[in-house]
Amino acid sequence: MTRSLRIVVALVVLALAARDVAAQWNVERFGSTKNQVYTTFGLDPALVSSVGYGRVVPLLGREWQLGAEVGVVAAEFDMRDFRARLQARTAVLRWRSVRLVGSAAFITRGTENSIYRALNFGADVTGALGVYRRHWFVAGEFGRDKAIITHLTHSDWYRENFYPDAKDGWYLDAGGTYHYGVVSGVAIGRTELALRAGWQRTEDFNDLLPPMYASLGVGVGF
């Protein structure tokens, strides 16, 4: 089986077997597992299923996992509510088994609800500090997801029943969220399970609904 075929098969199997978030995988395994496919399912911030692929590459004297991930809102499997991420992760600091892991992602998101259709471009920067061993890790994470620019198109229903003069167009700096919590994982052979859970607030630290996030992911390295 060729490498590309193995990737496709693994993605399909994982998508069928489980369902996601922006998973955190064990940086201690970067040296032995160059490629990874994964799937996650969780509340982040809606019920989201994702699949992704990451590849470890040496860059600037470090090992980076560069990857791509796509997810859709799992409620009624609504393909209009989607998220795509291009991301990079690396261990920024090391001391014995302690690692400070940094990640950055460029995000494209879409949604359609009763009052608008939206396309958004944003970015996420997250740091995780914890203990990383070869077969397990646990860390605390803190990150910020910024909605940089969002295009809104209002629905006919909104115009007819609420506000006919609502303005369609590109909205700059429309929002952002902070997230903070715990991320942990265990490895069994080539398979890695990762759990991520915590709290989320707006960028002004106001409440959000839901106030928490949680996701479970499974990845296979090769």
Partner 1 sequence: MAAPKWITAASLGLVGLGGLACETLDPSAPGNLVPPTVAEDASLPAIDMNGSRFHLETFGDSANPVIVFLHGGPGSDYRGLLRLAERRNGYSLADEYFLVFWDQRGTGLSMRHDKDVLTQAVYVNDLNALVDRYSPGRPVLLIGESWGGMFATRYINQYPVRVAGAVLIEPGPLDGATMERLKDDVSGTPLGAEWLNDYAWASQFLSPDDHVRMDYERMIGARDGQPRFHQSTVDPQPSWRMGAAANRYIAEDGQDRNGQFVYDFTTNLAAYTTPVLFIAGSWSEVLGPSLQQEQVLRYPSASLQVVEGAGHDVAWVKATEVLTQIRTYLDALKGGSQ
Interface with partner 1 (CB under 8 A)? 43, 45-47, 73-76, 78, 81, 83, 106, 109, 111-115, 118, 120-123, 125, 145-152, 157-158, 160-163, 165-167, 169-177, 202-204, 206, 208-210
Q: Is the Cβ of residue 6 or residue 144 nearer to partner 1 in the bound state? A: 144
Both tokens assigned to 26: 């064990």
Q: How far is the CB of 151 from partner 1 (least distance, A)?
A: 7
Q: How far is the CB of 45 from partner 1 (least distance, A)?
A: 5
Per 3-state DSSP, what percentage of the chain is helix, strand, and coil (rounded to 5)?
Answer: 10, 65, 25
CA–CA separation, 1 and 91 (whole Å): 32
Q: Is the Cβ of residue 88 or residue 100 nearer to partner 1 in the bound state?
A: 88
Q: Which is nearer to partner 1, 115 or 186 (CB)?
A: 115
* Nearest residue (CB) to partner 1, 106 versus 142: 106
Q: For residues 5 and 209, which CB has a smaller minimum distance to partner 1 in the complex?
A: 209
Nearer to partner 1, 76 or 188 (CB): 76
Distance spanning both ends of the chain, measured CA to CA: 13
Please work out, in degrees rounded to the nearest 5, the angle formed at the alpha carbon of residue 72 by the alpha carbons of 157 and 146.
80
d(CA 213, CA 106): 20
User: CB of 198: closest distance to partner 1 in angstroms?
Assistant: 15
Pairing of strands 62-73, 212-221: unpaired
- Provide the b/e sequence for 136-166 (b: ≥16 CB within 10 Å): ebebebebebbbeebebebbeeeeeeeeeee
Q: To the nearest whole angstrom, how small is the minimum distance from the Cβ of residue 19 to partner 1?
A: 13
CB of 60 to partner 1, least distance (A): 17
Of 11 and 148, which has the nearer Cβ to partner 1? 148
Q: How far is the CB of 220 from partner 1 (least distance, A)?
A: 28
Which residues have C-beta within 8 Å of that of residue 132, sequence separation ≥ 6? Answer: 26, 27, 28, 91, 97, 98, 99, 101, 139
- In angstroms, what is the minimal distance from the CB of 143 to partner 1? 12
Q: Output the six-digit token pair for 133.
A: 């061993």
> Which secondary structure element, helix H or strand E, spans residue 12, and what is its range?
helix 3-17
